[in-house]
């Protein structure tokens, strides 16, 4: 495992960026094609991925400019923190969906948002309603698992031994 993590270190920021793009694309696909309106906590989860993706892009550019391995490790570790925050937000959403806790989703914004048409509005579903589930796990649950896996992978990559480059003696 550490050999794989070592090999991933030079381009982990790109892997993280691709993961963020794929997850955000899937979320928008569920919204547009699957007609699943996101709740306020769903938007918070997306914001974490937007932030992590932006940091991954800037971090990758930084690793091209500053080629030290410490910079690559720092980028991977900070991505791990971002994905860990995403996992926490998603698990909070799961706790709200399961009614283990009561969320104050109204603090995140109104439940009805005006659309471009002045006569039309669209409703934001309540955060405690499971909109979609697969294998008994809600979308927030899957997001939490994926975020936790990305956080763990980021921390493993950050802590991996120095990559061995062929030809080094």
Of residues 127 and 31, which shows the higher confidence score? Answer: 31
* Spatial CB neighbours of 166, under 8 Å, sequence gap ≥ 6: none
Q: Which CATH architecture has domain 2-159?
A: Up-down Bundle (1.20)
pLDDT at 113: 52
For 5-43, give the DSSP string.
HHHHGGGHHHHHHHHHHHHHHHHHHHHHTS-----HHHH
pLDDT tens-place string over residues 35-69: 888 887 888 899 999 999 998 999 888 888 887 87
Q: CB-based burial of residue 83 (10 Å sphere; 0-12 exposed, 13-18 middle, 19+ buried)?
A: buried
Average pLDDT value for residue range 120-145: 77
This prediction has a pTM of 0.78
Tell me the percentage of the chain whose pLDDT exceeds 70: 78
> What pLDDT sits at residue 122?
60
Instruction: Name the CA dihedral angle for 81, 155, 12, 9, rounded to a multiple of 10 degrees.
Output: 140
Which residues lie below 8 Å from residue 109, measured CB to CB, with a gap of 6+? 40, 124
CA angle 25, 156, 145 (to 5 degrees): 40
């Amino acid at each position: 495992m550490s050999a794989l993590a070592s090999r991933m270190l030079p381009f982990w920021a790109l892997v993280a960026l691709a993961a963020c793009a794929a997850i955000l694309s899937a979320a928008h696909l569920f919204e547009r094609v699957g007609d699943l309106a996101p709740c306020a906590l769903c938007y918070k989860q997306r914001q974490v991925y937007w932030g992590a993706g932006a940091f991954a892009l800037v971090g990758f550019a930084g690793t091209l400019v500053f080629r030290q391995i410490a910079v690559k490790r720092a980028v991977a570790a900070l991505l791990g923190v971002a994905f860990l925050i995403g996992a926490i937000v998603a698990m909070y959403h799961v706790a709200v969906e399961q009614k283990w806790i009561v969320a104050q989703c109204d603090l995140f914004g109104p439940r009805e948002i005006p659309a471009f048409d002045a006569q039309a509005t669209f409703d934001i579903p309540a955060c405690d309603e499971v909109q979609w589930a697969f294998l008994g796990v809600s979308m927030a649950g899957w997001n939490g698992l994926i975020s936790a896996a990305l956080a763990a992978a980021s921390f493993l990559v950050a802590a991996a031994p120095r990559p061995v480059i062929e030809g080094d003696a």
